[in-house]
Amino acid sequence: MDKVAWVLIRDGKLLVARNRGRDLFYMPGGRPEPEESHADTLVREVMEELGVRILPHTLRHVVDVTAARDAAPGLVRMACYRAEHHGDLAPANEIVELGWFTPADYGRVTRAEQQVIDLLVADGQMVGGSGLP
């Protein structure tokens, strides 16, 4: 996997973040280090990006997606997980903004996140359709 991502939904809205210098939002997470498990990656990345601790024993796989990269050529493969956490969410390091997005915000997230939103809507975890015609 190129990236491991955290799927956090509250009141039918998906948590997303935006890096400095980027226009599109993405789900918190990042690239695994060599020999690092997906759980270890999420714990490390979410702590670095948002200052909260993922509870590894609550990790549940949601979906794997493959999509065209938004800022570079090629594809990104992303494993997505739900998990409980401790702490208050706050942007840190390269994160400059957090958002709670609905399917109406479809055009403001990366292609990989668009696929996840479509799945969450189909599963009834988010209300509404995507922003696609």
Name the residue ranges covered by the structural domains of the chain: 3-122
- Residues 91, 17, 59, CA angle at the centre, nearest 5°? 90
Q: How far apart are CA 131 and CA 120, in angstroms?
A: 14
Sign of the torsion angle spanned by Cα atoms 42, 84, 25, 1: positive
What's residue 132's pLDDT? 46
What's residue 70's pLDDT? 85
What's residue 38's pLDDT? 96
What's residue 128's pLDDT? 66
* CATH number of the 3-122 domain: 3.90.79.10
Of 117, 116, 123, the C-alpha closest to 104 is 117
With a CB cutoff of 8 Å and minimum separation 6, the contacts of 23 are: none
Q: For the whole model, what pTM was predicted? A: 0.92
Query: pLDDT tens digits, the chain, 133 residues: what are they?
Result: 699 999 999 999 999 999 999 999 999 999 999 999 999 999 999 999 999 999 999 999 999 999 999 878 899 999 999 999 999 999 998 899 999 999 999 999 999 999 999 999 998 888 765 444 3
What's residue 129's pLDDT? 55
For residues 112, 115, 121, 125, the Cα torsion angle rounded to the nearest 10 degrees is -40
